[in-house]
A and B are shown apart, each in its own frame.
Chain A
Amino acid sequence: MSDPHEQTHIDSVGSYVKILLALLVATGVTTAVARLDLGAFNTVVALSIASVKMLLVALFFMHIRHSNKLTKLVVAGGLLWLAILLLLTMTDFATRGILGVPGK
């Protein structure tokens, strides 16, 4: 028997259909927006839409919304390490050439 507070949450079919429709619309929007010239914001918009889609999939389809705290912490920790990987690598590559190399 499971604890009362550990009971499985069963989402309705309707909520899953809504999430699917939102994901499909977002795919269409990101494809259409890519043709517009937004300057540097093209990348920002594309990645923002992708992040929203990721959140929808993770929270609803992957049930993070109903997961216990330990699972949520592990997922957040994973994303934190990914951010370190990307950001700290780019601090090198993005700033090369700002200062000259001594003796060169």
Chain B
Amino acid sequence: MADHAPAETLALRVQFDTEAQQKDASTLGMWLFLITEIMFFGGMFTVYTVYRSWYPDVFAIASSSLNEIIGALNTGVLLLSSFTMVMAVRAGQLGQRKAILIFLILTLLFGGIFLGVKGYEWNQKFEEHHIPGQAAFHLEGVAPSDQGHAQLFFSIYFAMTGLHALHMVIGVGILLTLIVQARKGRFSASYYTPIDVTGLYWHFVDVIWIFLFPLLYLIDRHLVK
């Protein structure tokens, strides 16, 4: 009798030998994508490092104009969302469908709060005339000839936090998709790869913020009283 090929499942597509092999391939693929993201953000961190080393005094004043308490609290919110995300992955490992749904929704909620606070902070910049390129741009405590360097700081600030927020918005979109799929009962203990790799993405975005927060809000704050 001819061998019957086992029916293809979500956890074991025909091109893989074992479920473990398929899972490893997904994880590795996601990590390779994240490596490209590290290099992508890395370019911006390099820009930041070069200009901070060129204009340390102006950058210290500009950096201190950000509200570090709001920044720290928002970091906490993001860390909390990472925790709920990893709990969603854990629920996936255990095949607890209800817990998957609850933790995905919580992650979405915390991600939303983070973005809301970020929007509030950006709005503050508009009200304080700290928008680079604005005709009325003026940073208090900086000489008129150095205002351009202050604009440079805020250009980097908006580019980096903006790019980070864009990643969060994409993450929110992915979470919404997962929530719809989880509601339909698509995930189980043998197949939760989408939750797993989304977790990797979400934590990666968290790690970027872990570095953005001290670099943009904290360094050289002590220089400005």
Contact = CB atoms under 8 A, between A and B. Distances in A.
B86 interface: yes
Given A2-B20, A86-B46, A46 B214 contact: yes
Contact of B87 (A13, A27, A37, A70): A13
Given A2-B18, A82-B38, A62 B199 contact: yes
Interface in A49-104: 49-50, 53-54, 57-58, 60-62, 67-68, 70-71, 74-75, 77-79, 81-82, 85-86, 89-90, 93-94
B76 A24 contact: yes
A75 B155 CA distance: 30
Given A28-B72, A58-B207, A79-B38, A74 B32 contact: yes
A60 B220 CA distance: 31
Query: Helix, strand, loop or mixed for chain A's interface?
Result: helix
Interface stretch (B23-31, B139-147, B156-164): B23-31
B174 interface: no
B210 A53 contact: yes
B50 A34 contact: no
Interface string A1-39: 111001010110100110110011001101100111110
Interface residues of B, number: 54
B86 A16 contact: yes
Interface of B: 18-20, 24, 27-28, 31-32, 34-35, 38-39, 42-43, 45-46, 49-50, 53-54, 68-69, 71-72, 75-76, 79-80, 82-83, 85-87, 90, 93-94, 199-200, 203-204, 206-207, 210-211, 213-215, 217-223
Given A3-B20, A74-B28, 18 more contacts: A13-B90, A17-B83, A23-B82, A30-B213, A30-B214, A31-B68, A54-B207, A54-B211, A60-B86, A62-B200, A68-B24, A70-B24, A70-B28, A71-B31, A78-B39, A90-B53, A93-B50, A93-B53
